[in-house]
Amino acid sequence: MTLADSGTLVEPRPLSSTVNKKALLAGVVGTVVVLDFVTKMWAMNTLTFGYPVPVLGEFFRLTYTHNPGAAFGLNIGEYSRVFFLVLSLIALVVLGLIYRSTPARDRLRLLAVALVSGGAIGNIIDRFRFEAGVVDFLDVGIGVHRWPIFNVADMAVSIGAVLLLISFYFEEKDGDEPEPAAG
């Protein structure tokens, strides 16, 4: 029996320009966390600690290391691991508040929050797992002029932070008032 045979008419729902906030958050955070975890496990199981493997000559190398500090080698000493773990947890709370106050139509901000959250969670997992700190392995630079070694989570945090700044800039420029949105 088909819908037409049952005598029930179903009106199609119009496509919406908004996104399902929870699905976007879960999808992006989940993808970042899984990709970060898998690539870190690959680096730990494949690369020799501290030994650079050229991929694109000396410009892009894979160099497995641990970072007890924050993204891109920021280190404040003996208690870096605990300090940045607590700071990351606080950041997740703030990101949660931003997420809750962001309307579903603001896809850029939702994507930004999801990227930063996924990256933060990826590095938090390492801070709990390894006393030595976060696993890093992506190494970019020329000769001795190198960017600090980083990972997928760091990329997600950096890209998300830039997108978040852009979204706040355009909100301020347009004079939009953030509207409350159900979480």
Active site residue 154: yes
* Residue 126, Cβ density class (10 Å: 0-12 exposed, 13-18 middle, ≥19 buried): buried
Dist. CA 37–CA 160, nearest whole Å: 18
Active site residue 5: no
Q: In what order do the strands lie in the sheet with 60-67?
A: 53-56, 60-67, 134-142, 145-146
What's the maximum distance between 2 C-alpha atoms anywhere in the chain?
A: 75
Catalytic residue among 36, 126, 139, 154: 154
Catalytic residue among 36, 106, 126, 136: 136
- The residues annotated as belonging to the active site are 136, 154
